Amino acid sequence: MKLVYRILLHLTWVLTLLLAGWAALFYFTLVDEVNDEVDNALEARAEVIVKRVLAGRVVPGTGGEHSSDYLLREIPAEETRGRSDERYSDEKIYIAERDEREEARVLRKTFRDAGGHWYELTVMTPSIEKDDLAEAIFYGILYLYLFLLVTVLLVTVVVLNRTMRPLYALLRWLDEYRIGQPTPPLEVETSVVEFRRLNEAAIRSAERAEMSFERQKQFIGNASHEMQTPLAVCRNRLEMLVDDPRGLSEEQLGEIVKVQHTLDYLVRLNRSLLLLSKIDNGQFPEMEEVDLGALFRRTGEDLEEIYAYRGMHFTLREEAPLHVRMNPSLAGSLVANLVKNAFVHGAQGGEVAVRISDRAFEVANTAAEGPLDATRIFDRFYQGSRKKGSTGLGLAIVDAVCRLYGVRIVYAFRDGRHVFTVNFSK
């Protein structure tokens, strides 16, 4: 979820809670204020009536007759025990003029005259309909809430979008940034201190990454060059010894051949590791249109001759031309490593079959054993079964090339065959 939307979501919840709490507080405060005013009027009215009764004047309502706003009745002394002298309540009263019952505020007051007689005076007055008030407040708050919510959210979106422009610019710059490739400078004018510090930190981090990348490239190039020279010297000297076998026994010549094989393995390993490092560092920027069908045809025919002693044969089925835009050297490595892996790890006398469609190709070989571990098959130096002449880096190189170009490669074991499918569809 975007930061702006998360902020808006939190604002919505906060506004909802605040307005709900404010509406409840407003309602109870308003009702309490209305009750106070009505109670004061009822108390004043009750005092007037009580004074008239105590003065011995005839008061309408005595004897059970109702007036429009009060009722006076004599009560036994027992009823006054445990009662408060004044009691306020909200009740429904009958209005004769309207022939209906309405909400009213009622005051019941007990008092005693000079003769020791107890009276209960009930004074009432129509009051506001609290249900109607609550409904009116609810809809008023609802409309106010919707208006405030829309207004606040619109203002927040505008303000946040303007405020967050430097952050969005930095994110775009980071998305476009590639180590070792030319990148436009980060030029974002902002008065926000945090954004300025974030931009400076991103620039410093990019500069450190570029320095480390350059040092790594130099180290890998120098190390590869320095390793190739002594390896070549060793191979040449061993070849001289083999060509001039005077004084060497057959056993010694056999050991020299073994050392030559080891040196050959080290040379291949060094070249493979150097290629992997260059792929990971993006040192193959050149791209052109590559015909993978022609590349598979040449590679398959060459390897079929090399591995003829294993009795394996190569077949190519080109259902549609497949032209992709990529570095030609990496395309050659991708094809060569997949086909060579199929020959090296295929069953004796088996088949290496390549099928090409318009946006994908499939390399399959007859399996000598069961399925491989699909979770580790592209790990460096992983081999399902150790094969002579294999460095364990072929499929790692294939995976690195696919990741570089955003291509999907999948391994499957079907009908006793190892199948690698490379899909160029986006």
The string of DSSP letters for 325-392 reads: EE-HHHHHHHHHHHHHHHHHHBPTT-EEEEEE-SSEEEEEEEBSSS---TTTTTSTT--SS--TT--S
User: Tell me, what's the pLDDT at 355?
Assistant: 92
User: Tell me, what's the pLDDT at 243?
Assistant: 72
User: Tell me, what's the pLDDT at 386?
Assistant: 54
What does the pLDDT look like over 179-208, one tens digit per residue?
A: 766 777 777 777 778 888 888 888 888 888
HEC string of 290-314 equals EEHHHHHHHHHHHHHHHCHHHCCEE
Split the chain (426 residues) into runs of 10 and give each run's mean pLDDT.
Answer: 75 81 81 82 86 72 50 82 80 68 83 82 78 76 81 82 82 79 75 82 84 74 69 75 69 76 71 68 74 89 85 88 86 88 85 89 86 76 60 79 85 88 81
Surface-to-core class of residue 415, CB atoms within 10 Å of its CB (0-12 exposed, 13-18 middle, 19+ buried): exposed
Amino acid type, 216: Q
User: Tell me, what's the pLDDT at 280?
Assistant: 67
User: Tell me, what's the pLDDT at 95?
Assistant: 64
User: Tell me, what's the pLDDT at 10?
Assistant: 81
What does the pLDDT look like over 150-173, one tens digit per residue?
A: 888 788 888 888 888 888 888 888
Q: What is the pTM of this model?
A: 0.47
User: Tell me, what's the pLDDT at 369?
Assistant: 79
